Chain A
């Protein structure tokens, strides 16, 4: 019962923080609301018993990506100029598009959930099994995506340094 209450608190924090993040006038506040969304996403992963994923989310997203965002905001903000808003017509079109998409997806979800899915409690996922799954080459194991992501990260490092170096 307590985990259900925690789920409702986390859901409330996620939704409210995401709405405030995209409608805030100051950009540092949007970054902090994004940090709240990332931390409550990690809370959702803890509720789903994916502890490794939750720790990865906190370390990579809330720790790495948020620091990157804060640095970039500090480097590229001009305090003299105020925040510019889009034309009201364009904001209305964006809100209509988002609401249409929300209505379509909501209808599909609630129309098709006609079976009741239950959460099957399992043993805790051992990190040894996660390691075998990441570095194995059998049918359901992901050695190839692992190596591909490492190549992507290498390309990202080199590309980032090349793009942002001082000329």
Chain B
């Protein structure tokens, strides 16, 4: 046990620890997506999932393919795309709020088109 801790403190971080953190954050995001009623909470869960996947890409790039940069560029584009879709989702939510005055997913928000 003591050797395990000194291994963890002196060597570099093994890849499983990074992957464990991102897996936990991803599935916490899945839980939040499925179990919250407020639309903004659903968006926050989506951002958690996207961030976990981005860290995964960067970690795999650094540990498995040290000479290449494909994971790095994919993460860069994924950040840009996630920001764009968060903006559009918030525009849609504001529009829903103007029409129906509620942003809970279980009320009747099906009458949006005018």
Contacts and interface: CB of A to CB of B under 8 A. Distances in A.
Contact of B80 (A30, A34, A60, A83): A60
B40 A120 contact: no
B29 A44 contact: no
Interface in A42-75: 44-45, 47-50, 52-53, 56-57, 60-61, 64-65, 68-69, 71-73, 75
A110 B114 CA distance: 52
Given A41-B51, A149-B77, A22 B32 contact: yes
Interface string B71-93: 01101110111111111101111
Given A48-B62, A117-B64, A53 B72 contact: yes
Nearest to A162: B91
A93 B33 CA distance: 12
Contacts of A110: 16
A65 B47 contact: yes
Given A56-B76, A98-B30, A153-B84, A27 B38 contact: yes
A72 B5 CA distance: 45
Nearest to A20: B28
Contacts of A106: 20, 23
Interface residues of A, number: 82
Contact of A61 (B79, B88, B97): B79
Nearest to A66: B47
B40 A69 contact: yes
A76 interface: yes
Given A19-B28, A76-B40, A117 B95 contact: no
B54 A41 contact: yes
Contact of B51 (A37, A98, A105, A152): A37
Interface of B: 8-10, 12-21, 23-32, 34-38, 40-41, 43-45, 47-48, 51, 54-55, 58-59, 62-64, 66, 68-70, 72-73, 75-77, 79-88, 90-95, 97, 101-104, 106
5 contacts: A19-B28, A22-B28, A105-B23, A149-B77, A164-B91
Nearest 9 Cβ contacts at the A-B interface: A22-B32, A94-B34, A94-B35, A98-B31, A156-B84, A164-B91, A120-B66, A119-B12, A102-B27
Given A41-B54, A86-B35, 15 more contacts: A7-B17, A15-B25, A22-B32, A38-B47, A65-B82, A69-B43, A75-B97, A84-B38, A84-B104, A86-B37, A97-B30, A109-B19, A109-B23, A116-B14, A125-B72
